[in-house]
C-alpha cells in the first residue's frame, strides 16, 4: 500500500534558526494522523511545506507515492486543507464561497457542495453572507470547503479552534466517517492531546521542530499500564535494592526522590517490606496509572518510553 505522505529529513530554517529539523514522517493511506506539539513546534510549517506554500531548506517530500519537486501543482487537486485562520469573501454567501472554491480547483460536482454543507450542519444558513457567521460557523465552513472536492488527503491545522462542544463532537464523527467511508488520509495538528487521542490512529509528536516520536496510538494505550510509585529520601539506595534484592529491571527514576516500578510480578506489600528491611526511608508508596499525558510528557522531555515507535518496528 502506497503511503499518502512520506518526508525524508525535511527541514526549514529562517535566518539560521531551525523551525523544522530533519523530520521523517509517514502518513498511511486511509488513516488519521495526529500531529501533536506545543504552539510554535513547527506543525504549521510542515503542513505549509506539504502544500508548497513554504519551500523546504532541505529534505524530500513524497505525496501519493511521487516525489514533490518545486513547481509541482497537480497533487493539489487531491488535497483539501485548513491552515491557520480561514479567509472568505464575507459579502458572498457560504454556498457561493464553496462554489467559487470548486471552480478554482477545477471540480464541477455540485452535489459535493451539498454533501459538504450537510456534513458540517450548515444546511439552512448556506445562503447567508459569511459576514453574519460566528467564529464557529466559519470554522465549520472552512472544513466544508476542505472536503467539498472529495480530497484523498486532508491537512487540518487546529481544526477545532473556535468550535463549541457540540461542534467538536460533530467534527470527531466527521473525521472518522471520512476515513472509514471515503478512505481519506487525514493529517490533523493540535496542541491538545485530549482531542487527538479520541480520533487518531497514529500520533507524531513534534517539539522544537523535531519529530520526537511517531507511534501507533494502540501501542501507546497498551503501554500506559499501572505502576508503583515510591517516594524516598534515598533514591539511589532504593534503586540498588530493587535491582539487587528483588531482581526488578523495569523501573525509572523521576526527579530526585521518586521511583516508578513497572514490574507487575512483585506485590506492593513485598516491595514495601523489602525496602524497609534494607533501610530505605520510604515517604510514600502507591499504585498509580501511567496516563497518555505522562507518556507524551516523558517523550518530549526525553524520559524513558514504554512503547516502541512505529518507525523502529518498520
117-172 pLDDT, tens digit per residue, is 999 999 999 999 999 999 999 999 999 999 999 999 999 999 998 899 999 999 99
Determine the pLDDT at residue 311.
Answer: 38
- For the chain, give the number of residues: 314
pLDDT above 70 covers what percent of the chain? 92
Q: Which of 3.40.605.10, 3.40.50.300, 3.40.50.9100, 3.40.1260.20 is the CATH number of 5-221?
A: 3.40.50.300
Same fold, 5-221 and 225-289: no
Whole-prediction pTM? 0.78
Determine the pLDDT at residue 1.
Answer: 60
Most trustworthy range by pLDDT among 20-29, 192-201, 257-266? 20-29
- Per domain, the residue ranges of the chain are 5-221, 225-289
Q: Express each pLDDT in 300-309 by its tens digit.
A: 665 433 323 3
Determine the pLDDT at residue 294.
Answer: 72
Instruction: Work out the pLDDT band at 224, boundaries 50, 70, 90.
Output: low
Report the b/e string of 10-47 with b at 16+ CB within 10 A.
bbbeeeeeebbbebebbbbbbbbbbbbbeeebbbbbbb
Determine the pLDDT at residue 302.
Answer: 59
CATH topology for the 225-289 domain:
Alpha-Beta Plaits (3.30.70)
Amino acid at each position: 500500500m502506497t503511503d499518502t505522505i512520506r518526508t525524508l529529513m525535511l527541514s526549514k530554517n529562517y535566518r539560521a534558526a531551525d523551525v523544522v529539523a530533519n523530520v521523517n514522517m509517514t502518513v498511511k493511506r486511509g488513516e488519521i494522523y495526529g500531529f501533536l506539539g506545543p504552539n510554535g513546534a513547527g506543525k504549521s510549517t510542515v503542513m505549509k511545506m506539504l502544500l508548497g506554500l513554504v519551500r523546504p531548506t532541505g529534505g524530500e517530500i513524497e505525496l501519493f507515492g511521487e516525489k514533490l519537486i518545486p513547481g509541482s501543482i497537480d497533487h493539489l487537486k487531491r488535497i483539501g486543507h485548513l491552515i491557520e485562520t480561514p479567509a472568505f469573501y464575507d459579502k458572498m454567501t457560504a454556498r457561493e464561497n464553496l462554489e467559487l472554491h470548486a471552480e478554482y480547483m477545477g471540480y464541477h460536482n455540485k452535489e459535493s457542495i451539498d454533501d459538504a454543507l450537510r456534513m458540517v450542519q450548515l444546511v439552512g444558513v448556506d445562503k447567508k453572507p459569511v459576514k453574519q457567521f460566528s467564529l464557529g460557523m466559519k470554522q465549520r465552513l472552512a472544513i466544508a470547503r476542505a472536503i467539498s472536492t472529495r480530497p484523498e488527503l486532508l491537512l487540518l491545522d487546529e481544526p477545532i479552534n473556535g468550535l463549541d462542544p457540540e461542534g467538536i463532537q460533530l467534527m470527531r464523527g466527521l473525521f472518522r466517517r471520512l476515513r472509514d467511508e471515503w478512505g481519506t488520509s487525514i493529517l490533523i495538528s493540535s496542541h491538545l492531546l485530549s482531542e487527538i487521542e479520541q480520533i487518531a490512529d497514529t500520533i507524531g509528536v513534534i517539539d522544537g521542530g523535531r519529530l520526537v516520536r511517531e507511534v501507533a496510538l494502540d501501542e501507546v494505550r497498551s503501554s500506559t499500564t499501572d505502576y508503583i510509585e515510591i517516594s524516598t529520601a534515598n533514591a539511589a539506595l532504593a534503586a540498588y535494592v530493587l535491582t539487587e534484592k528483588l531482581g526488578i529491571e523495569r523501573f525509572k527514576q523521576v526527579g530526585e526522590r521518586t521511583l516508578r516500578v513497572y514490574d507487575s510480578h512483585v506485590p506492593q506489600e513485598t516491595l514495601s517490606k523489602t525496602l524497609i528491611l534494607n533501610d530505605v526511608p520510604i515517604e510514600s508508596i502507591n499504585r498509580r496509572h501511567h496516563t497518555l499525558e505522562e507518556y507524551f510528557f516523558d517523550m518530549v522531555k526525553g524520559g524513558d518510553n514504554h512503547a516502541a515507535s512505529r518507525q523502529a518496528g518498520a
